[in-house]
Amino acid sequence: MSETTDKYMNELKEWLLETADQNLEEMSGFFTARIEGYEEHMSIWKKSYERFAKLLPQGCEKILDLGCGTGLELDEIYKIYPDISVTGVDLCQSMLDKLAKKYINPPKMICMDYFKYDMGIEKWDAIISFESLHHFLPEKKKMLYQTIYHALKQGTVFLLGDYVAYCIEEEELLHKVYFEKRMKFQIPDEQFVHFDIPLTLKHEKELLYSVGFSDIQVCDDMEEAMIIIAKKK
């Protein structure tokens, strides 16, 4: 383990110890409670949103945004593709309400669990997600990735911007704490909670390969995160 990773892991362990007695917040409620300062908080990703938008293949006419929130990635996408057709799915209505106020003609917005959303078959020119999927276990993500793969047209892409674990130790530790907290506070299995459980880049790519994506590229210019381009040939 490198000195940087060792320092990071020590700080993570200290934080987990300090927050050991804190319950996990329900996902939608977590974001609703922080809606006023959300975009300012996420402004640290400004360059990453710009980068994300530029990685969309030219010619995209119809995209699906999973966990669209207030549309910070869409702000940059619309600058490049002002006429693009967007459907955004998010669990938090307050986020979508804020998104709706941004544009005269806002994207189509659907408030629901995107794991349950019917994406269709070979329907989209691109499916995107930014800083959302690190809240979910690999088994659940694999099912979603399979759905995404089938919903994309041939020759199109799944564009994922998300946190990745520094190392396998971080991945395993966060998953361990996640399960312990769910058990300690008797959180129902079906309830989404706000707690980061990112995978290592290796494991994230393995999930994508396992559902059929054959060409996966990684852009590593995001601090503590990656942009992954998974192509469906």
pLDDT tens-place values along the chain, 233 residues long: 577 888 999 999 999 999 999 999 999 999 999 999 999 989 888 888 999 999 999 889 999 999 999 999 999 999 999 999 999 999 999 999 999 999 888 899 999 999 999 999 999 999 999 999 999 999 999 999 999 999 999 999 999 999 999 899 999 999 999 999 999 999 999 999 999 999 999 999 999 999 999 899 998 666 667 999 999 99
180 Cα distance to chain centroid: 23
pLDDT score at 3: 75
pLDDT score at 221: 60
pLDDT score at 2: 73
pLDDT score at 1: 56
Residue 98: CA atoms inside 13 Å, Cβ hemisphere, count? Answer: 19
SS3 62: strand
Q: Which residues, at least 6 apart from 182, have a Cβ–Cβ distance to it below 8 Å?
A: 24, 189, 193
pLDDT score at 105: 84
90 near 130, Cβ under 8 Å?
no
pLDDT score at 46: 87
Cα–Cα distance between 226 and 216 in angstroms, integer? 12
